[in-house]
């Protein structure tokens, strides 16, 4: 049985100083949000190169919320893949407030 993997998601603890080539995986494009403190946060989404996709939102809200969202076209259907990371040390209430805010933004962007 052949497994077709459209994308995979990782938490990463690297900053913008790490070169893009160090994050490369053969056969995949990637989009990521970066950590600022090198201890927590950051997301990365790998998408097979033959899929059309568009980065719709990529944010880092302090050390509270990291979010990377991509719109991917598969056989003329469109999907939105969103990766969210919450640092364990952050307030649940503040995280949920920020998440709700950015979900509203995503809904506006993706119609």
User: What global pTM score does this model have?
Assistant: 0.74
CB hemisphere CA count around 4 (13 angstroms): 5
Tokens of residue 103, six digits: 């979900």
- Provide CATH code, domain 7-110: 3.60.10.10
Listed residue (54, 37, 45) closest to 106, CA to CA: 54
Confidence bin at 97 (pLDDT 50/70/90) = very high
Q: What mean pLDDT comes out for the span 17-25? A: 75
Residue-wise pLDDT for 30-56, tens only, equals 888 877 766 667 788 888 888 888 888
The domains of the chain are located at 7-110
């Amino acid at each position: 049985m052949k497994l077709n993997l459209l994308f995979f998601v990782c938490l990463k603890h690297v900053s913008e100083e790490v070169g893009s080539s160090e994050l490369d995986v053969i056969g995949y494009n990637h989009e990521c949000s970066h950590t600022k403190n090198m201890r927590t946060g950051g997301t990365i989404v790998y998408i097979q190169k033959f899929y059309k996709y568009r980065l719709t939102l990529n944010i880092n809200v302090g050390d509270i919320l990291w979010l990377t969202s991509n719109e991917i076209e598969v056989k003329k259907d469109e999907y939105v893949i969103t990766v969210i990371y919450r640092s364990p040390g952050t307030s649940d209430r503040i995280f949920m407030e920020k998440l709700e805010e950015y979900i509203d933004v995503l809904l506006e962007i993706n119609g």
